[in-house]
Structure formats: C-alpha cells, structure tokens
Structure 1
Amino acid sequence: MSPRRLIIDCDPGVDDAIALLLAFASPAEFDLLGITTVAGNVPLALTAANARRICHLAQRTDVPVYAGCPRPLLRSLTTAEDIHGSTGLGEGLLPEPTMPLQDQHAVAFLIEQLTTAATPITLATLGPLTNLAVALIQCPEIARGIDQVVMMGGALGPGNITPAAEFNLYVDPHAAKVVVDAGLPLTMIGLDVTHQVVTTPDRLAALENLGTPVGKTAADLLRPYGQIDCDRHDLAAPPLHDPCVIAYLLRPDLFTGRAMRLAIETEGSLCIGRTVANAYPIPATPANATVIETADAAGIYDLLTERLGKL
C-alpha cells in the first residue's frame, strides 16, 4: 500500500514532540506533507520553533513547517507552561532551529493542499483546532480533500483544564465546534483514552536504553512531563496524549471505539469547551464521529519504542 498522505497540525509541547518523532519514524506508512503549528501549549512563535527543533532532532528537515493562527477565534489565548515548561520543550534540551519556517501561512497551506489533492489527505490534529476551523470557514470545499481527521481532544469524563473541559478544546471551543459540525470523517481520542497510556518508569527506561540521541531526548522530555496531571487525576504515571493519534493511524487494532454524536459547548460559563457525546444517537441527531474508548498502553509503548529506535 502507498503511504498515507498526512498533515500534522500541532502545538509542540512535549507530547506533540513525541508524536512528531513517531510519525517521522514511520516513513513506510506516512507521506508527511507538512507540519502546521498553532498557539496552544505555548505561544505560536515557540510552537513553530519547537516543531523545527524536532525536525532537526529526527534529521527530517525535508518536512516543511508552517506557522498558523496565533490566538483562538474568539477568546484570549490560554497556554500550558505549567505542564510543558516555559519553552514548551523543557529548558535547553534542544538547540535553536536553523531550518527555515515557511513563508506561507498554515491556513493557506491547508487550503492549497486540500483543494488540489489528487487523493484525500489525513489530518492529525494535536492542539487547538483553530487552523483547521479557519480553513473550513475560508474554504468549505477543503472537506472534499480530507480523508479523515483524527484529533486529540475532548473528554467523556472530567477535563484537565477545568472540571468540564480538556485543554485543546477549551483553548478554542468555537474552532472545535466548527470542525465537529463540518460533517468530516472524524475520530476523537480524548482524555479517557490518553489517561490509560501512562509513562511508567519501565517504559521511560526503554526509551533511554535505545542509546540514541532521539531516545535520550525523548526520555529527557518525558521525565519531568505530566506529573501535575498524574497527581491531579490520581494516575499511576504521567499520561501521554498526542502520540495516541499517530499510534491510532499506525495500529488502529490497539484501540476500540464506537460511533457517537459529538457537540461542543461554547456558551456556558462553567462548561465552555465541554465535549458532549451521545453514545446512543437518534435519526434526528445521527453519529458524527468515532469516539475511541480504550487503548492498549503496552502495545502503544512497544510501538513507540520500536519506531524511535529507527531514528
């Protein structure tokens, strides 16, 4: 089979960085057309620089990086330096990037790629959905060029930024609503799944024991990451969110889910950004997404370690 044509939209961020490395380590499965960045975990200037830092680490400077939207559609930007550090990728772990940032805006790149695609393109969204929402608003015809959207975002249960909302959808709930309501082939991987995929000491050691710059850097990034979430949500170890999207595209057999009706709360002051999922849709409001519910954490970490060993 030909490699899947893929664009990754992200806000690196530690877990975004690990997701990018997993995609870079899978060239037989992915034809990675580009990386688009958005403000989220840290501001846009840092997410665009961090994506290029990871390209350098993986020796994949052939993959172009495009900076996108610097703020949500309607709200002020909320960031997560408490989770990812002031730079988004720890302090001094990776040098400044030397590969250029593309001049084209990420939204323009998405529109260009999706309206001219000979075969549909998969979108892996790892951050707030602002870039994709703006592209859909500017050019609804891009939907015809999308094979599927697999997003890390949302939660069936409690959130991680508020009691009601997961971070990515809370940051830009109006963009999330645009995407969810667009009728796209959509798969949601939310906190209920990613909290099953935790970085135990043994899994962290396996990455470090690869004995490569990529393995060491991945372990160094993950070691301080996620402890706040671990303590807050009473998890056995820190969770790993965004790589689940790439793992799902590589090995969907490691996950289970079902069709549901998704809606995004954009008006309530207490629940803004909440994912409202109906597991029993009716004809008047049919299913509009596949919602993943379980993940094989051991299988995902085996896949991650095996692939990163190739970089």
Structure 2
Amino acid sequence: MGIPVILDCDPGIDDAFSLAMAVASDDLDVLGVTTTYGNVGLELTTTNALRVLDWLGSDIPVYKGIDQALLGKVVDAAAVHGATGLEAPEIGPPTTTPQAEDAISFLIRTLRESEDKITLVASGPLTNLAMMLRLAPDVAAKIERIVFMGGSTDYGNDSPAAEFNMMCDPYSAQIVLDADVPKTMFGLNLTHQVLVTPQRKQAMHDLGNDTGRVFADMCGFFEKIYHSLGFEGPALHDPCTVAWVLQPELFETRSMRVDVETNTGLSFGRTVHDIWNIAGKDRHTDVALKADAGGFFDLMNGLLGRLR
C-alpha cells in the first residue's frame, strides 16, 4: 500500500498534471478526489476531474465540494485555463459521474474511519478543508499533513500582493493555517522555478504515448499567458504538491509562521511569512523555497510515461 492521500483540486491544466502523476504512482494510495471552485466554477472543475481520470482509465472516486468562498465574490482563472478550464479536446467528456456523497462528508468520514493518518494535497482554494475543520475539528488528529499550493513569499498573480488560491478565499486559508496540523506550502516563489521550457515541453511530447503528447499540447495553451508576462514557459504550480509527497528531497523548505491578510485593501489575500519568528507564534508551516526543477521534470515524465 502506498501513502494514503486525498487530492482536493480545481482542474485546471496544472491540476490535470497532479491527477496524472498521482494515478501513475505506485507510491500513493489515492482514496478520493474532492473538487472545489477556483480556476473555473465547480461544475466545470468536477467535470474536468472526471474527464482526466476517465481518460486515464482510473476509477478513483470524485466528490463534489463547495462552490464558492465563505465570504466575498466568486472569481475564476478562465483567462488562463480557458473557458472550460481544460482546453484538451482529446480528453473527451466524462463517462462517469461524481459520487452522491459530498466532499465535506467524504473527508470527515474517511478521516474518522481511517486507521492511518491521511495526507491532504490541496491545489485550489482551501474552502473545502476549512469547512471540514470547522464542522469536525476532531479530524485534525487524523491528518498526517496538509500539502497545499497557494500564497507567495514575494509577489502575487491575482493582485500585486496576492496569489490566486489565497485571493479566492483568504478566510478559509487562515482557518487551515491555524489548524494544529503539519503543513507544507508551495507558493509562487517556488512554483515559478518549475517552468515548462520549450525543451521540457518537447521531452514530454517525446515520451511516445498519448499522455505525453496531450499534456504537452495543454502546456501549449497554458504558455500564452506566461509568455506575455515574460516567462520562458508556463509554471506547473499544482504538481509540486504531489512531487513533494513522492520525493520531498526535490525541494528545500524552511519552517515559519504563515498568515493571510483578511482585511480588505491592497494586501487582501497576501500571505505573510514570519521568517525570523518576530511574532513568537508557532512555526507551523514548512514553506518551499527552492526546487530541483530538473529532478521534478524527471519524476513527472517518468510517471506520465507509464500512462496510456
């Protein structure tokens, strides 16, 4: 048996990579996929999760989560990911449907019933996890770690200060950060080190299978916005979380206190990192600072190469 994990995601192009890596790995036991709003609305993210898993031949169950932030307006990233969130025509419509049980109930039930602690891998807004912790605070004791993509130690991408996932629901993010659970954070400062350069895109295409070719083509759609921002290629934000669970040695982390700005204004949604422990609070989050990008792509391509 592999490491028991639940993936909480909002597919999204880079989430599709996370799903594929998790499906391909013999070292993970994926108990389920829970969906949230984010890159596009909940109906589309749920459909996209089913599309990817069905196309890959996986029977991992999908559970539909919450469709908006605890407070505030709904935002999305369709301008980056496309109107459907996953502009990949070769990955057709889903052949299965989400489970009848909702994501929050599934998370609470699975954690309570599990004999082993479970790692939660979150790559969208943290609303599902926050609601779970509010409704059933006892499940925190059954969580091995929350590994999440969100925030940044430097600049934002949804505002000058804030990263998209944090901006979607900073109140939920603070609930998760306050939970007495080990956490590992992958912010923009790290994920912008993991770029699909033209050479890496070609290597993906050259894997010789449908997955390599289709996922390389998805990067082609994704890269337009990154080129306009001066990047050499798109950043694979979300798969860093799965990569860390599989090979944490690929990343350098530093333990620190992290909070989220929930007051409205220029810094709304910004993550604040107490590197020097000035506030004297618990250093509850391991923040990823450096990536072995070459090692990451070796791992990812090795996994994608196992698929159809």
Q: Same fold by TM (over 0.5)? A: yes
How big is each residue's C-alpha offset from its partner over 1:24-74, in whole Å with a ceiling of 9 and x where there is no partner? 110x210000000000000000000000111012110x2000010010111
**Residue 171 (1) aligns with residue 148 (2):** no
The equivalent of 1:156 in structure 2 is 153
Of 283, 286, 290, which aligns to 2:282?
Answer: 286
- CA shift for structure 1 position 210: 1.5
Of 232, 238, 253, which aligns to 1:236?
Answer: 232
- CA shift for structure 1 position 253: 0.8
The equivalent of 1:298 in structure 2 is 294
* SS of equivalent to 1:87: coil
Aligned residue pair count:
307
- CA shift for structure 1 position 298: 0.9
The equivalent of 1:92 in structure 2 is 89
Of 127, 133, 136, which aligns to 1:136?
Answer: 133
AA paired with 1:49? T
Structure 1 Cα separation of the partners of residues 273 and 90 of structure 2: 39
| TM-score normalised to structure 2 length | 0.97
8 Å CA contact retained: 1:159, 1:191 = yes
The equivalent of 1:7 in structure 2 is 6
The equivalent of 2:24 in structure 1 is 25
- CA shift for structure 1 position 257: 1.0
Gapped runs of 5+ residues in structure 2? none
**Residue 70 (1) aligns with residue 67 (2):** yes
8 Å CA contact retained: 1:15, 1:241 = yes
Of 95, 103, 106, which aligns to 2:100?
Answer: 103
How big is each residue's C-alpha offset from its partner over 1:137-163, in whole Å with a ceiling of 9 and x where there is no partner? 111011011000000000000001101
- CA shift for structure 1 position 284: 3.1
8 Å CA contact retained: 1:6, 1:123 = yes
The equivalent of 1:38 in structure 2 is 36
AA paired with 2:255? A
* SS of equivalent to 2:290: strand
8 Å CA contact retained: 2:55, 2:92 = no
8 Å CA contact retained: 2:9, 2:35 = yes
Structure 1 Cα separation of the partners of residues 118 and 94 of structure 2: 27
How big is each residue's C-alpha offset from its partner over 1:105-135, in whole Å with a ceiling of 9 and x where there is no partner? 0011001011111000000000000000001
* SS of equivalent to 1:303: helix
8 Å CA contact retained: 2:126, 2:173 = yes
How big is each residue's C-alpha offset from its partner over 1:61-104, in whole Å with a ceiling of 9 and x where there is no partner? x2000010010111121000110000001153421101121011
8 Å CA contact retained: 1:115, 1:144 = no
The equivalent of 1:125 in structure 2 is 122
**Residue 193 (1) aligns with residue 190 (2):** yes
8 Å CA contact retained: 1:35, 1:65 = yes
* SS of equivalent to 1:244: helix
* SS of equivalent to 1:47: helix
AA paired with 1:140? P
Taking only the aligned residue pairs, the percentage that are identical comes to: 43
8 Å CA contact retained: 1:85, 1:91 = no
| TM-score normalised to structure 1 length | 0.96
- CA shift for structure 1 position 229: 3.3
* SS of equivalent to 1:83: helix
* SS of equivalent to 1:260: strand
The equivalent of 1:145 in structure 2 is 142
Structure 1 Cα separation of the partners of residues 129 and 21 of structure 2: 22
- CA shift for structure 1 position 283: 7.5
* SS of equivalent to 1:281: coil
AA paired with 2:23? F
Structure 1 Cα separation of the partners of residues 133 and 165 of structure 2: 18
Indicate the larger mover: 86-95 or 135-144: 86-95
- CA shift for structure 1 position 240: 1.1
AA paired with 2:306? K
AA paired with 1:121? I
